[in-house]
Copies of this chain bind each other. A is one copy, B any other.
Amino acid sequence: MGYDFRMSEADFIARLRAIATDPAARGLADDAAVWEGLVLTHDMIVEGVHFLPDDTPQDVAWKLVAVNLSDLAAKGAAPVGVLVGYSLGDEAWDAGFVDGLGDALRRFGIILIGGDTVRVPAGAPRSFGLTAIGRAPAGGAPSRSGVRPGDQIWVTGTIGNAGLGLAMRLGQVDPNETCLAAYRRPQPQLAFGQAVAPHVHAMMDVSDGLLIDAQRMAAASGCEIGLMVEAIPLSAALLAVRPDVLDTRLAAATAGDDYQLLFAADPAAAPAIREIGAALNVAVTPLGHAGVGEGIMLTYRARRIALPERLGFMH
């Protein structure tokens, strides 16, 4: 997810950036650090903030691994291993967490390198941290900041399933398996990220919402990103629950937890990108273009529309 802050935290991030002067840190403005051929990232998840107290420990462990590997995917990295910071709970919960962690390690072919375990005071929300390490692609890890005016903007998969899955978990919407699974077991686009990295100018993962993350990419790159809201890929599972209207599309684009890849490439790379998507069975959708300017600009059926007040999940 990288260092993404609310305005009230602007002073904090400014201070932190002032001491993160090494190029490896990428100004704390990218999904991950790149140091001597390695890609490194550290994300935390907190009970009641990033997961629900009644999420299963297996799902929490999976999510902790998956959100960090999604940052590696966005840098085209091949994941190697993780270090885990763990807050102990009760015995059954802890055992379930290890089961979920083991599932994720096997699924992604990575190793548990080490970590630490602490006991938090009774009743306190638990927090978990994970550091993931991967190998950078031979041609270098794409950053968020490389978008060039004229680039085509793409996204993998579909957007909004996990956000709707969270609403289902909260009993606000009738559940369906596809959306619940997207919330419970996000799938980082590792193979696609590695394959597409040589073809992109910039790449990041969509963790806090398509719109807010596109805005961050535009800001990091010093250009404007124009997105066609009608092109945002929505799943059949989402459209079975929600009508295909503008509000549905904006809700999906601001919900977060998608863990898809957002990337910018020269339009001439489109055939190669489509070929990679087809080979890996990953949907790839062109969403718009970058231009001279700043921020994001939304159109819906060829008309410019106002940005929603909230562009994504701020945590």
Contact = CB atoms under 8 A, between A and B. Distances in A.
Interface string A107-136: 000011111111111001101010101000
A7 to B, nearest CB: 12
A19 B101 contact: yes
Contact of A112 (B19, B44, B81, B131): B19
A32 interface: yes
B50 A118 contact: yes
Interface stretch (A35-43, A176-184, A220-228, A266-274): A35-43
B48 A121 contact: yes
Chain A interface residue count: which class? 35 or more
Contacts of A99: 15
Interface stretch (A83-91, A158-166, A286-294): A83-91
A124 B105 CA distance: 30
A197 to B, nearest CB: 19
Contacts of A241: none
A12 interface: yes
A28 interface: yes
A85 B120 contact: no
Among A3, A35, A112, A121, residue most surrounded by chain B Cβ atoms (within 10 Å): A112
Contacts of A42: 83-85, 114-116, 129, 131
A95 B13 CA distance: 10
Given A49-B120, A113-B33, A83 B40 contact: yes
Interface string A1-42: 111010011011101101111101110100011010000111
27 contacts: A2-B114, A2-B116, A12-B94, A15-B99, A16-B112, A19-B101, A20-B112, A20-B114, A21-B111, A26-B114, A28-B112, A33-B83, A35-B80, A35-B81, A40-B83, A40-B133, A42-B83, A42-B85, A42-B115, A45-B118, A46-B120, A48-B121, A49-B118, A49-B120, A85-B85, A118-B315, A120-B125
Interface of A: 1-3, 5, 8-9, 11-13, 15-16, 18-22, 24-26, 28, 32-33, 35, 40-46, 48-50, 80-81, 83-85, 87-88, 91, 94-95, 98-99, 101-102, 105, 111-121, 124-125, 127, 129, 131, 133, 315
